[in-house]
Structure 1
């Protein structure tokens, strides 16, 4: 089959959001990666934004399921269900048949986890499945020319993981992943408010605090925000007033784990590439790059120039779109196997 007869689909299977890109159509889906099941009938009642809006507000017969945590499929059946419903909702399920699927995954996904990711796509009818590191796709989506022999440091702060990589001459030279990202920031905010105010708040409230007040450096117009939760002593509803400075202290402490990982990578970087990094600095991608002062934070610690991706939330699928040309060339050269049967065996040559 010719490449032009296959549908190219790129998926960013994020912990917080799932994005789907289809060639000639663009981004067709961008919603939270959460589902709501009726426990009595075992039917899916809501997914995406509709399910997200239900979080923390449902009875015991409704089960909230997040099939992808920290960039890894934790519930294979739910993941299949999610993708099928997404494309059925978009009336595009037939596009999966004989398609080329590019799946973006965190740097340290294991071989078994890669196989689980591929199996989801194959079970839905894909012919060829390519797995690429999210951070590499994010670099392409940020507009970096990764093909030239020049060191580029990319810090991709997502929902479940932060991926850090040095990319040169078209591929990843060294990469590391840490499970400290958007969701972990929310949890740290929840822990702080519980310990300081004796108030338990929900994940959505913590996320709102992060978005409204979160910063890594002082900024003009700092403010306070009232949040409502449950008093851990009396069990009654209680209000707490949180300041920007409090949220900043929580985030700076959480970000220290990311900076430690950057230092670890830099210590293992070839000297010639280290020289490039001093000149060109870091590119910061992912939803975490939207936190105020993140560029100044890394610049202050490492004394290198930093830039934010122009499309931090959609950069991975934008990069995957740009990578389609490379995949087509490799298909023509026989890189992924001679036919679909070879691909479905899950041989080493069927992913990068």
Structure 2
């Protein structure tokens, strides 16, 4: 079969959201990566947006499951259920036969887990399944030409982890990962409000505070915001008034761990790439790149230019679309398939 007759499908398996792209159709699935199970029957009750709307509003017989948390698969069976559901929707599009599937996963997902996810796609009828790291796809989606032998630092701030990588000559040279990202920032906000105001708030309220007030540098129009929760002393509903400055201090403190990791990575950078990084600066991707003042924050510490991905929420999918050309070229050269050649053992892109 000709390459252009195959359907290319890319999935971004993020901690917060799962996105699916189908060639010639665009993004056909974009839902939160959360699931609700019935404890009595262990059956799936809801997932995606429907499950997200159930957070904090269920009884004890319903459990909420996030298959991928902090960049690792915490429930492989649930992850498989999630993929089967997404793949089932895609099969209804009649584009599954002879398809090429690209799975973009967090860097912390193990090789064994990658193979398990690939097998789900094979079982559903896919012909070729490829796994790549999200940070690599995010770099492509941000417009970086990763094929040239020139160092680029990519900071991918997702929901569960922040992945920092130096990419050159088509692949990751050195990378680090830390569990300080969107979810951890929400947790820090919850801890602060509990400590300062004796009010317990939920995950969704913390995320709303982060989106409305969150910043890493001062900005015009700073304001306060009312947040409602439960008084930890009386147990009754209570309101707290939070300011932008308070949340900025919380986020800056959390981001200091990211900057420490970035310094460690640069200290281990090959000298030949250090000069490239000074001129190219940092490229910041992922949902966390939308926090106000993030460019000023990194520029003020490292005195290098910072660039924000033009598509922070869909950057991995945009990168996968670019990577499709590389995949097609590899197929023509026999890199994938039963008679695959030139594929290193253990490669994330290998066809097994």
Q: Which residue in 2 is equivalent to 1:127?
A: 127
Q: Distance in 1 between matches of 2:61 and 2:349?
A: 40
How many angstroms does 1:295 deviate by? 0.6
Q: Which residue in 1 is equivalent to 2:239?
A: 239
Are the aligned partners of 1:34 and 1:47 in contact in 2 as well (CA < 8 Å)? yes
SS at match of 2:103: strand
1:208 equivalenced with 2:208 (yes/no): yes
Are the aligned partners of 1:106 and 1:177 in contact in 2 as well (CA < 8 Å)? no
Counterpart mapping for 1:290-301 below 5 A:
290-301=290-301
Q: Distance in 2 between matches of 1:264 and 1:191?
A: 28
Q: Distance in 2 between matches of 1:207 and 1:23?
A: 33
How many angstroms does 1:147 deviate by? 1.6
Gaps of 5+ in 1: none
SS at match of 2:264: helix
Q: Which residue in 2 is equivalent to 1:25?
A: 25
| Deviations 1:312-341 (CA, angstroms, capped at 9, x unpaired) | 0000011011101111111222212426xx
| Deviations 1:192-233 (CA, angstroms, capped at 9, x unpaired) | 111111111100000000000000011111111111111111
Tell me the number of residue pairs that the alignment of Structure 1 and Structure 2 aligns: 348
Q: Distance in 2 between matches of 1:55 and 1:157?
A: 23
Q: Distance in 2 between matches of 1:248 and 1:87?
A: 40
SS at match of 1:327: helix
How many angstroms does 1:247 deviate by? 0.7
Q: Distance in 1 between matches of 2:91 and 2:102?
A: 20
Counterpart mapping for 1:1-352 below 5 A:
1-89=1-89, 92=92, 95-338=95-338, 348=346, 351=349
| Deviations 1:95-116 (CA, angstroms, capped at 9, x unpaired) | 4444221111223433223223
Pick closer, same or farther for the CA change 1:349–1:237 going to 2, 3 Å.
closer
SS at match of 1:257: helix
How many angstroms does 1:46 deviate by? 2.1
How many angstroms does 1:54 deviate by? 1.3
Are the aligned partners of 1:337 and 1:350 in contact in 2 as well (CA < 8 Å)? no
Are the aligned partners of 1:68 and 1:79 in contact in 2 as well (CA < 8 Å)? yes
How many angstroms does 1:125 deviate by? 2.4
Are the aligned partners of 1:84 and 1:93 in contact in 2 as well (CA < 8 Å)? no
How many angstroms does 1:180 deviate by? 1.0
Q: Distance in 2 between matches of 1:40 and 1:236?
A: 31
Q: Distance in 2 between matches of 1:92 and 1:71?
A: 30
Are the aligned partners of 2:198 and 2:232 in contact in 1 as well (CA < 8 Å)? yes
SS at match of 1:10: strand
SS at match of 1:167: strand
Pick closer, same or farther for the CA change 1:99–1:70 going to 2, 3 Å.
farther
Are the aligned partners of 2:13 and 2:106 in contact in 1 as well (CA < 8 Å)? no
* TM-score normalised by the chain length of structure 2: 0.93
Q: Distance in 2 between matches of 1:179 and 1:3?
A: 39
Pick closer, same or farther for the CA change 1:260–1:159 going to 2, 3 Å.
same
RMSD value over aligned CA atoms? 2.1
Q: Distance in 2 between matches of 1:184 and 1:96?
A: 37
* TM-score normalised by the chain length of structure 1: 0.93
Q: Distance in 1 between matches of 2:348 and 2:205?
A: 42
How many angstroms does 1:155 deviate by? 0.5
Q: Distance in 2 between matches of 1:349 and 1:271?
A: 26
Are the aligned partners of 1:228 and 1:240 in contact in 2 as well (CA < 8 Å)? yes
How many angstroms does 1:87 deviate by? 4.0
How many angstroms does 1:34 deviate by? 0.9
Pick closer, same or farther for the CA change 1:286–1:257 going to 2, 3 Å.
same
Pick closer, same or farther for the CA change 1:349–1:263 going to 2, 3 Å.
closer
Gaps of 5+ in 2: none
How many angstroms does 1:90 deviate by? 5.5
